[in-house]
A and B are shown apart, each in its own frame.
Chain A
Amino acid sequence: MEDLKEIVSFIAKALVDDPDEVEVEVIEGEKTVIVELSVAPTDLGKVIGKDGRTARALRTLLAATSAKQAKRAVLEILE
């Protein structure tokens, strides 16, 4: 599950103004893995994007990465 965390953290840090504020937690459930992303409040728009497009692109990458694994990855952006 480390790779899921790494992907989100790497991309989020590249997108935001304040990379030091980027934190990613992974919570493993039985069938799903929740990847919780938190960023500086001023950077929320950067990781969500217009109409949620950036968040959706991140979710697509998570889905592609977790396809091999039995568990489904869910991205939560904390506000």
Chain B
Amino acid sequence: MPLTETSAFKIARRAAREIAPGAVVALDRGLPELVARVTPESMGVWFLRADGTLNGIPLSAADAAAIVRGGYVDLAIVHPAQVTADGRFVGRLYARDASIAPPGIGVDLASGARRIIALHPQINEDEPEICLASHLLERPVDGVGGIDRVIADCAVFEPQGTEFVLSEIATDRQADDVVADSDLSEVVSISDYPAAMDFTVPSGTPESKVHADGASALHDLPDGVTVFIDGFGGPGGMAHYLLMSLRDRGSRGLTIVSNTAGIARVVSFGTPPGRTAIDHSVLIENGQVAKAIASFPVSPSVSRPSEFELAYRRGEVDLELVPQGTLAERLRAGGAGIRAFYTPTGAGTLIAEGKESRTIDGRDYILEYGLRADFAIIRAHKADINGNLIYRGTSRNFNAVMAPAARVTIVEVDEIVEPGQLDPEEIVTPGVFVQRIVKRPDGFTGYE
């Protein structure tokens, strides 16, 4: 039975039913791209395509792979040549000629995506390259144990380790016939009660990311978690309103990760004349901070110590001192699913003590670990309602690296706009990295 446009769209619609509103879905080339065409825009789905775009936002290859490895892909839809009952799969290019085909992003998807479904257009022994198999042909494998479900135009199969189970069947077909006709009886057993395949277009809308105020955006920030706090040290790029909301919420025992631990208030760092900026000190003097991970934790002036330094000297807070570039790279790695990396920074210094080290090409490097947090509180200039962000000037610096590295990233912006009002070429942080958006209240200055 050749693949017709009708059957291709049927597969795509059934596959689209696997997608939750607002989900991030990575699409392999070819048939999976049809899934984006049949998914209603109102579902707010983020499609990461093989051409490196995310809903039209152009990404570098590194950033696209970071989204996958960083754990942001809820569902990957692939179109492999072969799937085995234990969930391994072989890409089509490899299947044709392994000597010329690159592994592509399939390998990243296999290890990074939460779920992977395979589209299986034809069940046809005349096309032996596209098949369900009990074991793989002798070819390199893109993914091990990755495929959760195989969707064909007349049936759905679940890899169960040693065999596939036919779990759904099209209403106009008989499960026995499908298995027998396609010579799958050796690898497929039929579920006792296969469900009827549903080819209707899915619906639903994602929960809005826009929160009315800081209390709402921080409503579930508990005691004892790690929070990234944005900015370089001055009032530029700092989410003062959310910082005050966090103080009002009163969550305690926090580990804060930030470039400084609050110096603007005491030395006017980056602060216009005559102003006193709100900074991390509001959390420290309220007894909410247990530990800071920072590169510039104390005041550059010995005679004007910060709240953090005073608390540190009283033994009330711990400090993990990190070189600034190492902090930035630990955040970048954390957001990109890279668990650790070797850096030359700090080799031979106190920073290297207790860390693994390695000499590569005659130079000493130390092992540093990626950093992730439960929450990030960041600042941007504008967001659209999907969470795409642009920044102003040097206030991008730590905000843009923190956004991808937290489970819940909450952004404070000057302005919230509709989709399409930000130029995709200028978007710095794609909305997949942003879970909540709050507009800074009119008249709120960030100064005491």
Partners in one complex: no
Please list the residues of chain A having a beta carbon within 8 angstroms of any beta carbon in chain B.
none
B contact set with A: CB distance below 8 Å: none
